[in-house]
Amino acid sequence: MADVTKEKFTYRDAVAEGIAREMRRDPSVVCLGEDIGAAEGVFKTTVGLFKEFGPARVWDTPISEQAIVGAAMGAAMTGMRPIAEIMFSDFLACCWDYLANEIPKARYMTGGQVTVPLVVRTANGGGLGFGAQHSQAVENWAFAIPGLKIVAPSTPSDVVGLMAAAIRSDDPVVFFEHKALLAGSGTRPPEGHLIELGQASVVREGTDVTVVALASTVSLSLKAADQLAGEGISVEVIDLRCLIPLDMRTVLSSIERTSRLVVVEENPYQGGWGGTVVSVVADEGFELLDAPIKRVAGANVPLPFADSLEAEVIPTVGKVTEAIRRLSAY
Residue 2: what pLDDT?
A: 42
Using the Cα atoms of residue 34, residue 121, residue 172 and residue 48 in order, give the sign of their dihedral.
positive
Domains 9-186 and 201-329 share a fold: yes
Domain coordinates of the chain in residue numbers?
Answer: 9-186, 201-329
**What does DSSP say about strands 119-124 and 81-88: parallel, antiparallel, or unpaired?**
parallel
CA–CA gap between residue 299 and residue 268 (Å, rounded): 5
The model's pTM: 0.96
Query: What residues are annotated to the active site?
Result: 65, 134
Residue 6: pLDDT band with limits 50, 70, 90? low
Decide if pLDDT at 183 tops 80: yes
Main-chain dihedrals φ then ψ at residue 156, nearest 5 degrees? -60, -45
Question: Under CATH, which architecture does the 9-186 domain have?
Answer: 3-Layer(aba) Sandwich (3.40)
**Does residue 3 carry a pLDDT above 60?**
no
Residue 259 above 60 pLDDT? yes
User: What confidence tens digit (pLDDT) does each residue in 284-323 have?
Assistant: 999 999 999 999 999 999 999 999 999 999 999 999 999 9
Share of the chain above pLDDT 90, in %: 97
**pLDDT, mean over the chain:** 96
CATH topology of domain 201-329: Rossmann fold (3.40.50)
**Residue 1 or residue 323, greater confidence:** 323
Average pLDDT over residues 269-277: 97
Greatest Cα-to-Cα distance within the chain, rounded to the nearest angstrom: 60
Q: What is the pLDDT of residue 140?
A: 97
